[in-house]
Structure 1
Amino acid sequence: MWLRRTAVCVMAVPLALLVFRDAPVRLAAPDSATAKPTDAAAAQRPRIVSRAQWHADESLVREHAVYTGTVKAVFVHHTGHTNGYDCADAPEMLRAMEEAHVRGEGWDDIGYNFVVDRCGTVYEGRAGGVGRSVRGAHTTGFNAHSVGIAALGTFGPGVPVPKALLEGIAKVGAWKLDPSVDPRGVVRMVSTNDDSRYRRGEVVYLHAVAGHRDTFSTYCPGEALYAQLPAIRAEMARLRARDR
């Protein structure tokens, strides 16, 4: 397995922006009441465009999928693409991204577990089975027991975030997150890599639905999308309540 395991959102930003605007969110350890599992059920599985349907190049995949068990956290990303694309072109964009991740970055497959386009369509990312807990290459130090969901586009300050895209992220996130985890709560995670914001072995408490920047020095998922994380958490909770 390749050692470097984080997908870098393709967006250049000044160092000052990374330092001052992307400071890690350090949450206090929850008390016993907050830490109790919820009684919410997992949401229904959304429609997902499979790798076969978007014609992923399976010959590029270098290793078999690795499985990590229950999904405790959702990490939201953006891919760095321009936002004016036609949604019909999303499969072609995914094929180019797969090649960039494997041949350009040296990973064994596309980094994200799922990708959502601006029309709200959910695409299978990394191979291994959408119903299983596949370890991705999206969030250094926290790829295990998590799912990486990437928004196809770039969402810097002031960029409108399509409602359909937010709903698509919430749908797949509500389905994948373990039913015992409240999407509006916090979770205990352990860093596995010193290249993250946290030392290897360090215990941290993160939002169950977090942004890439919360664990890595990056602008991802962009100011506009990061600001929508509370709305995504609320929508995930609503979907679970509806499907209970």
Structure 2
Amino acid sequence: MRILIHHTASANVTDYSQAAAYANAHWIQDLHMDTNGWIDSGQHFTNSRGGFLLEGRHGSLAALRAGDRVVVGAHCPGQNTAAIGIENEGLYMDVEPPKLQWDSLVSFCVYTCEQYGIPPTEIQGHRDYRDTLCPGDRLYALLPRLRQEVARVLGA
């Protein structure tokens, strides 16, 4: 089991409010259902630029809290039953995520690793499993730091 980090490849908005986070999550859900024909959002969770974490695919939060199952996602072929997909709102080719979003990502990865027994070394990027630019060059370059920060909190 692992965590796969994604970005939405959408605008790097400056509205960090909870309302903006909800609007973004609804936009993703509409895109995935109406355009892709999926039953729900493909990713398990969405992390807004303001650091608000929202459930993507229905049932993902209950499964995470229980730590005993994974809801089948649609975020990366071949990984949808083996990886928790976390979308990070924004485009991270040339810029890094804002601090609120980064801190939220670290904390959420810590919790997810604890719940599922995932070692921090198994926090990876979408591009590690698919020919894609996701999660963006700058966020992808931060993954070693993410693994280190998560491991430090976990005492690993």
The two structures have a TM-score, normalised by structure 1, of: 0.57
Bigger Rg, structure 1 or 2: 1
**CA drift at 1:218:** 0.6
The answer on 1:87 being equivalent to 2:87 is no
Over residues 123-178 of structure 1, what are the superposed CA-to-partner deviations in whole Å (9 max), with x where a residue is unaligned?
Answer: 11110141412121111111112100011000013x13222212212222222233
- The CA distance in 2 between the partners of 1:168 and 1:135, in whole Å, is 23
- Written as runs of structure 1 = structure 2, the 5 A alignment for 1:1-244 is 72-88=1-17, 89-132=20-63, 133-157=70-94, 159-177=95-113, 178-179=116-117, 181-184=118-121, 208-241=122-155
Q: Which has the higher helix share?
A: 2
Aligned residue-pair number: 146
Taking only the aligned residue pairs, the percentage that are identical comes to 33
- Structure 1 residue runs of 5 or longer lacking an equivalent are 1-71, 185-207
- The normalised TM-score by structure 2 is 0.86
Residue 95 of structure 1: CA displacement?
Answer: 0.9
Segments of 5+ residues of structure 2 without an aligned counterpart are 64-69
Letter of the 1:160 counterpart: E
AA of the residue aligned to 2:2? A
Matches of 1:103 and 1:175, distance apart in 2? 31
What is the distance in 2 between the residues matched to 1:129 and 1:105?
20
